[in-house]
């Protein structure tokens, strides 16, 4: 279950984190928030967190304490996750790029790509035990006939880095609990 949570977190970080460097503005923030709603990020993360919590081992007092602490921190995890990704997105992407991503992921083709990316992540985890960015969402998967999507795809590596940093900062305590042996 720990691997499923890790894969899911990596997927959402890699897929939707924005590039660093761009000055955030209200229009870009609104576009990033709309994109997160389109992909259902908050709900997806909350669902994964609940699944993870349901399968936490609790045989020893140490495991029970760890599980209790994670359960206390779980409410609002999806919202916190989404906010961290929005922060990264507005640093990396312009409003037109965010709008293009939103339109694409709202389409049937975009939804199929999301499903494909999640499937890649799960299969990669099952086969290799580790997930790399190329196993999840590949920038070249986006349609090449849309200049705004191609611009967003070119910025994707920087977005992924920024999102990882935001999420590590936001979830430092949870990460420490999960990775503690």
pLDDT tens digit sequence for 144-161: 999 999 999 899 888 888
Helices and strands of the chain, counted as H and E runs: 9, 0
Report how far residue 48's alpha carbon sits from residue 122's, in angstroms, rounded to the nearest whole number. 13
Predicted pLDDT at 23? 46
Q: Are 93 and 32 in contact (CB under 8 A)?
A: yes
Is it the case that residue 176 has pLDDT exceeding 60? yes
Of all residues in the chain, what percent carry a pLDDT higher than 70? 77
Report how far residue 75's alpha carbon sits from residue 45's, in angstroms, rounded to the nearest whole number. 11
Q: Are 14 and 85 in contact (CB under 8 A)?
A: no
Closest CA to 22 of 103, 85, 93, 100: 93
What b/e sequence results for 8-17 when a residue is b if at least 16 CB atoms lie within 10 Å of its CB, and e otherwise? bbbbbbbbbb
Enumerate the domain spans of the chain: 2-179
> Residue 22 — pLDDT band, cuts 50, 70, 90?
very low
The owner of tokens 């020893």 is 60
State the CB neighbour count (10 A cutoff) for residue 27: 14
Mean pLDDT of the chain: 82
For the chain, report the end-to-end CA distance as a whole number of angstroms: 15
Report how far residue 87's alpha carbon sits from residue 34's, in angstroms, rounded to the nearest whole number. 13
Predicted pLDDT at 35? 95
Predicted pLDDT at 80? 94
Report how far residue 181's alpha carbon sits from residue 174's, in angstroms, rounded to the nearest whole number. 13
Report how far residue 41's alpha carbon sits from residue 3's, in angstroms, rounded to the nearest whole number. 19
> pTM (2 decimals)?
0.78
């Amino acid at each position: 279950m720990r691997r499923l949570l890790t894969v899911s977190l990596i997927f959402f970080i890699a897929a939707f984190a924005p590039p660093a460097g761009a000055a955030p503005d209200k229009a870009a923030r609104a576009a990033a928030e709309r994109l997160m709603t389109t992909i259902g990020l908050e709900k997806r993360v909350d669902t994964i967190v609940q699944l993870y919590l349901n399968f936490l081992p609790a045989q020893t007092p140490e495991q029970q304490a760890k599980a209790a602490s994670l359960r206390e921190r779980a409410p609002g995890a999806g919202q916190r996750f989404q906010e961290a990704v929005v922060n990264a997105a507005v640093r990396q992407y312009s409003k037109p790029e965010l709008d293009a991503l939103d339109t694409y992921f709202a389409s049937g083709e975009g939804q199929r790509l999301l499903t494909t990316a999640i499937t890649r992540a799960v299969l990669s985890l099952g086969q290799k035990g580790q997930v790399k960015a190329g196993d999840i969402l590949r920038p070249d998967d986006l349609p090449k006939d849309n200049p705004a999507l191609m611009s967003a795809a070119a910025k994707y590596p920087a977005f992924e880095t920024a999102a990882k940093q935001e999420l590590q900062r936001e979830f430092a305590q949870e990460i420490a609990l999960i990775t503690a042996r």
